[in-house]
Amino acid sequence: MNKRMMKAAVAAVAVGGFLMGTAGTASAAYDKDGKLESGEFGLYYNSGRLGCVFDVAADNNFADDYFKAPSGSCNGKGQTTNDNTASYWNRAISTQYVFTDWYKEGIQGSLPAGYYGDASSNFKNEISSTSLIGR
């Protein structure tokens, strides 16, 4: 009976390791690489979805996040995302919530799936966090 239990435990560890390995590839779309891909939410440095982009699923605090260029350079490259966003595009399949303060504080705005545009006066250069869940 001990050998059977040991084989089952080894099999469970192997399956768990496989699942953990594949989970990493499933979240690869959210790697903040400066490429706005399907399923991501993008914040742009300039109005009109111009300049560098910060691509994200959700983030409670933009203080340590920066605009990136997938290749070459663009306006805003290396600038902090915190309080520095002029437009956005929600390429996710659900509503994205933005907040003017860290950790879902301040003014809350909601952007439905597929929505893009320039930030309103309440949000332009004021967005500090984002979430898939509102307050």
pLDDT tens digits for range 78-94:
999 999 999 999 999 99
Q: Where are the domains of the chain?
A: 1-29, 31-131
Measured distance CA(54)–CA(118) in Å, rounded: 15
pLDDT beyond 70 at 73: yes
Contacts of 135 (CB under 8 A, 6+ apart): 97, 104, 108
Task: Find the helix or strand (DSSP H, E) in which 38 lies.
Answer: none
Q: What is the CATH number of domain 31-131?
A: 2.60.20.10
- Binned at pLDDT 50, 70 and 90, residue 103 comes out as very high
Alpha helices in the chain (DSSP H): 2-26
